[in-house]
Each structure stands twice: as structure tokens, then as C-alpha cells.
Amino acid sequence: QQQVKQSPQSLIVQKGGISIINCAYENTAFDYFPWYQQFPGKGPALLIAIRPDVSEKKEGRFTISFNKSAKQFSLHIMDSQPGDSATYFCAATRQGAQKLVFGQGTRLTINP
Amino acid sequence: GAGVSQSPRYKVTKRGQDVALRCDPISGHVSLYWYRQALGQGPEFLTYFNYEAQQDKSGLPNDRFSAERPEGSISTLTIQRTEQRDSAMYRCASSPFAGGPGDTQYFGPGTRLTVL
């Protein structure tokens, strides 16, 4: 059972553009939604995270939008840069469970 | 400071052999997690520990897989009688707070296991 579905699988954006990656979840008990960034040969690293008591969280050029009723959340990268080229994973977990349930990943390429 | 380290980074073994994968978490971190990541996929949970206690092993595929963390620090994931389908990247992560608010999992570089 795929509890977190992520799209698109791959995305190409021009430098300076907005990158948008979407995720949908099934388990309404999830209460913590992190996004991880992974560069080739490296482990995933936490980028930004949100809890369902807010609809949006912004950190620099990165914004998470959260829609609790639709069970969806998305990552927006503003003014995308070539250095943002990486694979991005959304994830979810719930209080007390600790384990993360990951989406399938999105390979993002920013063209210069 | 030092991050999560894993060894070996690459392991090639023949079908039927046992393998042991090691994880060194960030010093002082309470929780340690094991995930498996297939090529082009997100990490998939295997098991985790708080201190030396294994809290959840629901993700271990079958009884050939086991993990331990005897002193609450270094952990070993053991796969017995390896099969070709076990080939994957095995990632370890650690976190400081055992899932409390704001807890973050820090991932290691992984061990690439290839079973021939």
C-alpha cells in the first residue's frame, strides 16, 4: 500500500522559474510532513517540514503548502537555481510512530 | 561534527552468504533507523531503535533480516542467506529526540548491497 504518492517523477525547470512538487497521503493520522533533498551519492537531508496546524511554511526560497481536507501537500521552490538540481522526497509520519513513510521521489533538473 | 557513517559503503556478495551492515549514528542520538532504498524509489522503513530497544521491526521483509543495537550506539543490520532481491541501498538514520516535536532524522551515505 503506497501511503504517500508523489508527482511528478521528474521535472525540468528553467533557472529562475518555480518548481512545484506534489504529494498526497492516505493516513489521516499523519501529523508531520517533511521534505528531503538528496544529491547523487549522498543520503537524504531534511529541507523543510510542516505540521497540519498551519497551511503554509516558508523558509527562504522553499515553501510548503498544506491542504488538510484534500490530504495533499506540495513543495514550491521559487527562483530555482542549478544548485537545486536533486531528487526530492516528501514524507509523512505520525506522533509516536517515528518511522517515515516516503514518496517515490522527484528528480528535479534546473536548466541554466 | 561527524554525521552518520555506514560501513562498508559497497558490498558485493554471493547468493546464500550472510552480510552484516554497520551504522555509526551521530553521537548522543537516541534513535536509530534502518531504511532500504531501491533505485529510483524513496527509502522504505525497515526497523528502528530508541537507545538499545528495538521499537518497531514491522518493515523487516522476513526472518532473514535482523538488527541490533546492543549498547544504544552502533547498530548492525544482518541479512542471512542473501538473495538477489535483497540487492539495494541500505540507509541508516539517527535522530536526537525519539520522535519528539521537531525531531529530525539525519541519514547516512548508505551501503550499496549487490547480491550475485
pLDDT digits (tens, 9 = 90+) for A15-72: 999 999 999 999 999 999 999 999 998 999 999 999 988 999 999 999 999 999 999 9
Cβ contact B69:B75 at 8 Å? yes
Q: Once rounded to an integer, what is the mean pLDDT over residues A86-112?
A: 93
CA distance A98 to chain B (A): 5
Would the CB atoms of B93 and A43 count as touching at under 8 Å? yes
pLDDT of A95 over the 70 cut: yes
Cell of B46: 525497515
Name the nearest CA neighbour of A100 among B22, B39, B37: B37
CA separation, residue B111 to residues A45, A93, B44, B45, B56 (Å): 17, 24, 14, 15, 21
> Most A CBs within 10 Å: which of B5, B60, B105, as the mutation test of the A interface?
B105
CB atoms within 10 A of CB B63: 7
Looking at chain B, which residue has its C-alpha nearest residue A50? Answer: B102
- Cα separation, A69 vs A49, in Å, equals 18
Place of cell 525519539: B98
Looking at chain B, which residue has its C-alpha nearest residue A43? Answer: B109
